[in-house]
Structures are given as structure tokens and as C-alpha cells.
């Protein structure tokens, strides 16, 4: 059945407005093409000369297109003359178009939009901003996200340089700091923890085609972070111009304690969850308890194995939280103790020192811890220091008898050491935090560590979304 082409007055007006907007855009694009042509002076330009010209001017084009889209898609709101106060219900009339510029990854976008203000409630609103979900800071979330992706990898100055070069947008070190801190503010272990389903997916991938459940290692260790005291910030809070003076404080190396879950695949390890902070043993233990309580670790799908040094808090926690896990004292930590005894007992005879050390380590490697203890008990200490070290090693081996059964570990396919966590420490802590001359406030170090942990196991996007939600709520 044929329909008559009847257009309402409204539709005609819409179509006409749309055409106007598009014509204005065409004009801007024409101007843009003119400036582009003017920029390429060479009679026979290379491709690089052409793309450089386009690259340099690209934002003027993308800005124009975006502004035009905003105008076209939100016409009604852009032309809105009255609004109702959300608090008192009074009808407000517009205070005329006000301009606001926001920075996005496609350039600085100029928004000309009506603004309403209720005198009675002292409440101002720009409906277009709400509709577009524009946030308070001039730099919009897409810009902030890109900035933090850089600051969590490289020093702030480098991040700002790279950012400006890649995006054509300015980024000050001050803003880079502020945004990074805002994104990482208040992050806890559960904010960066992947979901149970995400972890299950990784387990399934590693388990594919294997007869045994895959090994999930929980490694616990620490790494040193260069910190500066809070007092370095200057006495009076709020005075930004008071810079930290080097002479007033001394840097201190502090331990970022943490844990890391990773899967052992054939020839590699798969990150599952890591959490490192400059914190106390108790805080680290609490974070581990939270992970356990959140139920994200599918223990029945894996063979869980805990690797750590001899620290007591770790084993206490491990036994409470994961009683069925296989426990392994890191072979390298263990061998340090053996080396110490060898040096104190046989220091005068390098040959004997090496022989004894190698023999003891070989026996441990083959699971003969009792033999090593037996030998130590029969040793005649050369002096009091040696006697003390021997006694210590005996107690250490007795306490951890089952945890130093490296033969058992190897037979089960378990790792003997936490090479995994050592590389994690390097990757998470050292690469970004250890820089000559860089001393971190503990708060900022921990924020950076949290962001890097999130990145390490793929939850950075979620962390950013959490931040975005927060600033959205604040501006709405
Ligand atoms: Zn009002």
C-alpha cells in the first residue's frame, strides 16, 4: 500500500537544521583543506611529507567533526531555553549560551551550551554536559586513561613527552601526577583482583590436553622500594609551592611485601593475581585473607602450591587459608643458609667449603633432608659463630622438613623456587619504582604498585572504570 509523503512541520524544520549544521561542517572542512594545502610547500611531496602535514592538522578536522556531531545529535538540548530546577522545581530560563572546552583524544572540543542557575538553591546545571557525561576535569576520561597507561610504565616526565608526541595534546607533569593518583586512590586488593570466572578461563586454557590439574603457585616475597618520609612534603599542608627539600629528609629502602598467584604452563607462567604494597606482615596477610574470602581462587580446579622463604607469618597464613596446598621453601633461600654454614665452618679451606656445600645441596635436591640434618648434628663447629649457624640451620631444616623435600616437589612437577615472584618483583616494583634519584612517598609508591599489579594480570580497565564511575557520580 503506497504511503503519501507527508512530512510534519517538525520534521521539515529538523531536516533543515540538519542541513545547516552539515553545511557549516563542509565550510570548516574546506578551510581545513586550504590550510593543509598551504602547509605542503614541496612541489612533489613524499608520502611522509604529506602524512606529516595531515598529522599536524588532524585535530582541527576531528574537532570540527565532533563538534558538529554534538550539535546535530543533541540539537534539542543545545537549543533548550528553559529547565526545571532539580531541587526546588522552579522553572529557570537560560543564561545564554556558555562556552566550555574539554580535551579528548580527538582534540579540544568546544561546547556552546545553555546554562541554568537557580538563585534560590544556588545550583547550576548544564544539561548538555550531563547528557554527554562530560566530567569535571578539562581532560576527559579517554585522555586520562591514556595518560595513566603511560605513567604506570615510565617516569612522569617521559610519560608527558610521549603523550604530547603521540596525541598532540599537552600534558603537564602536575596533571599526570594528579590523574594517576586519582585513578589509584584507595585501591585495595579486591579492586584489582580478577573474577573467579576470569581465573577459571586461564586455568582451563593451561589445563587443555593435560592429564593433571594445573599447578597454581602462591608465591610470597618482598622487594625493596626507595621511599621518602611524609615530612618531606613541607610543613604546611595546602601550600603547593613549598617543594620537598632534599636536605630535610633521607630516603629509606622499604620492603614491598606481597603475594602472587601464577599458573605453571609448559614453558611459561601465566599471571593470575598479584598484590604488592609497602605494608606490614599483618596487612599482607589480611589482603591474602580477603582474596581467599572472596572465593575467586578455584582451588578444586588446580594443585595449589605455596612457595616462600622461612618467614613464620607466611606459613601460618598458608596453613590456615590453604591447608591442602603443597608447601615449598624456596630452594634459593634454603641454599643461602647452607652457604652461610659452609663459609663459617670451612672458611679457611675454600676447597672443603665448596665440597661440603655442593654435597649438602645435592642431598637436599634428592630429598635427603634427614641425611643433611644428621651430618650437621655430627659436625664439630670451628668456633662459636659456626656453632650458632649450624644450630640455626638444623632447626630451620627440622621446622621445614617437608617443605624442603625437593625430590617430592620435582616429581610432582612443582617448582623448587619462586623464580616467578622474583621476576614479578622486578617487573612490578623495580622497573617503575627503582630509578636513580626517585624516592617515593609510601602512599604514591603503593598507588603505583596497585596500578602495576592490575596491569600485570589484566584488570587495569576495570580499575579505570571504577574511577570513571566515581568522577561521573561527582559531576552528575
Ligand atoms: Zn532551585
Going from the Cα of 289 to the center of ligand 1, the distance in angstroms, rounded, reads 48
Is pLDDT above 60 for 236? no
Is pLDDT above 60 for 239? no
pLDDT score of 157: 93
Query: Residue 131 and residue 134: Cα distance in Å, rounded?
Result: 8
Going from the Cα of 118 to the center of ligand 1, the distance in angstroms, rounded, reads 5
Going from the Cα of 119 to the center of ligand 1, the distance in angstroms, rounded, reads 7
Going from the Cα of 123 to the center of ligand 1, the distance in angstroms, rounded, reads 7
Q: How confident is the model at residue 4 (pLDDT cuts 50, 70, 90)?
A: low
Q: Which residues surround ligand 1, an ion (CB under 5 A)?
A: 85, 87-88, 118, 120-121
Percent of the residues in the chain that have a pLDDT greater than 90, as a whole number: 65
Query: Residue 134 and residue 137: Cα distance in Å, rounded?
Result: 9
**Cα 146–Cα 263–Cα 299 angle in degrees, nearest 5:** 110
Among 31, 112, 36, 30, CA closest to 68: 112
- Return phi, psi of residue 32, to 5°: -60, -45
Going from the Cα of 432 to the center of ligand 1, the distance in angstroms, rounded, reads 49
pLDDT score of 3: 54
Going from the Cα of 471 to the center of ligand 1, the distance in angstroms, rounded, reads 23
Cell of 96: 545564554
Going from the Cα of 475 to the center of ligand 1, the distance in angstroms, rounded, reads 18
Going from the Cα of 91 to the center of ligand 1, the distance in angstroms, rounded, reads 8
Is pLDDT above 80 for 384? yes
Tell me the per-residue pLDDT of 252-301, one tens digit each, with 9 for 90 and over: 888 888 899 999 887 788 999 999 999 888 999 999 999 999 999 999 99
Going from the Cα of 299 to the center of ligand 1, the distance in angstroms, rounded, reads 56
Beta-strand pair 303-308/326-329: parallel
Query: Residue 207 and residue 79: Cα distance in Å, rounded?
Result: 59
Q: Is residue 109 within 8 Å of residue 101, measured between CB atoms? A: yes
Going from the Cα of 122 to the center of ligand 1, the distance in angstroms, rounded, reads 7
Q: How confident is the model at residue 231 (pLDDT cuts 50, 70, 90)?
A: confident
Is pLDDT above 50 for 1? no
Going from the Cα of 280 to the center of ligand 1, the distance in angstroms, rounded, reads 50
Query: Residue 39 and residue 34: Cα distance in Å, rounded?
Result: 9
Going from the Cα of 382 to the center of ligand 1, the distance in angstroms, rounded, reads 88
Going from the Cα of 124 to the center of ligand 1, the distance in angstroms, rounded, reads 9
Amino acid at each position: 500500500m503506497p504511503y503519501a509523503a507527508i512530512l510534519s512541520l517538525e520534521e521539515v524544520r529538523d531536516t533543515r537544521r540538519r542541513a545547516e549544521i552539515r553545511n557549516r561542517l563542509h565550510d570548516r572542512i574546506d578551510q581545513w583543506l586550504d590550510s593543509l594545502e598551504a602547509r605542503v610547500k614541496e612541489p612533489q611531496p613524499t608520502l611522509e611529507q604529506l602524512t606529516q602535514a595531515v598529522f599536524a592538522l588532524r585535530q582541527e578536522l576531528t574537532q570540527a567533526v565532533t563538534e558538529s556531531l554534538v550539535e546535530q545529535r543533541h540539537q534539542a538540548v543545545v537549543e533548550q531555553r528553559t529547565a526545571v530546577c532539580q531541587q526546588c522545581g522552579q522553572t529557570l530560563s537560560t543564561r545564554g549560551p556558555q562556552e566550555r572546552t574539554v580535551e579528548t583524544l580527538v582534540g579540544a572540543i568546544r561546547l556552546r551550551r545553555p546554562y541554568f542557575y537557580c538563585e534560590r538553591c544556588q545550583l547550576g546545571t548544564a544539561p548538555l554536559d550531563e547528557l554527554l557525561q562530560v566530567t569535571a576535569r578539562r581532560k576527559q576520561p579517554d585522555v586520562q586513561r591514556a595518560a595513566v597507561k603511560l605513567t604506570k610504565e615510565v617516569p612522569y616526565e617521559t610519560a608527558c613527552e610521549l603523550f604530547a608526541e603521540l596525541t598532540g595534546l599537552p600534558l603537564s607533569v602536575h596533571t599526570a601526577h594528579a590523574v594517576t593518583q586519582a585513578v589509584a586512590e584507595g585501591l585495595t586488593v579486591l579492586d584489582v583482583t580478577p573474577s573467579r570466572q576470569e581465573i577459571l578461563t586461564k586455568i582451563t586454557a593451561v589445563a587443555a590436553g593435560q592429564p593433571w590439574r594445573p599447578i597454581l603457585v602462591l608465591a610470597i616475597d618482598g622487594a625493596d622500594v626507595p621511599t621518602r618520609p611524609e615530612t618531606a612534603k613541607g610543613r604546611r599542608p595546602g601550600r603547593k609551592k613549598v617543594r620537598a627539600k632534599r636536605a630535610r629528609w633521607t630516603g629509606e629502602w622499604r620492603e614491598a611485601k606481597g603475594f602472587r598467584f601464577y599458573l605453571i604452563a609448559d614453558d611459561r607462567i601465566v599471571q593470575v593475581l598479584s598484590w604488592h604494597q609497602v605494608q606490614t606482615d599483618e596487612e599482607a596477610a589480611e589482603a591474602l585473607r580477603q582474596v581467599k574470602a572472596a572465593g575467586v581462587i578455584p582451588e578444586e580446579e588446580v594443585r595449589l602450591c605455596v612457595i616462600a622463604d622461612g618467614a613464620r607469618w607466611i606459613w601460618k597464613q598458608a596453613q590456615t587459608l590453604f591447608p591442602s596446598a603443597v608447601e615449598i621453601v624456596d630452594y634459593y633461600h634454603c641454599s643461602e643458609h647452607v652457604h652461610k654454614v659452609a663459609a663459617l665452618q670451612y672458611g679457611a679451606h675454600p676447597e672443603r667449603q665448596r665440597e661440603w656445600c655442593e654435597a649438602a645441596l645435592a642431598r637436599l635436591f634428592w630429598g635427603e633432608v634427614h641425611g643433611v640434618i644428621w651430618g650437621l648434628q655430627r659436625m664439630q663447629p670451628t668456633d662459636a659463630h659456626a656453632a650458632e649457624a649450624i644450630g640455626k640451620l638444623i632447626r630451620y631444616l627440622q621446622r621445614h622438613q617437608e617443605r624442603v623435600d625437593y625430590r617430592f616437589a620435582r616429581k610432582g612437577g612443582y617448582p623448587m623456587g619462586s623464580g616467578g615472584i622474583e621476576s614479578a618483583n622486578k617487573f612490578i616494583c623495580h622497573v617503575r619504582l627503582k630509578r636513580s634519584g626517585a624516592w617515593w612517598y609510601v602512599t604514591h609508591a603503593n598507588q603505583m604498585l596497585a596500578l602495576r599489579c592490575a596491569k600485570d594480570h589484566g584488570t587495569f580497565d576495570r580499575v579505570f572504570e571504577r574511577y570513571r564511575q566515581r568522577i561521573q557520580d561527582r559531576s552528575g
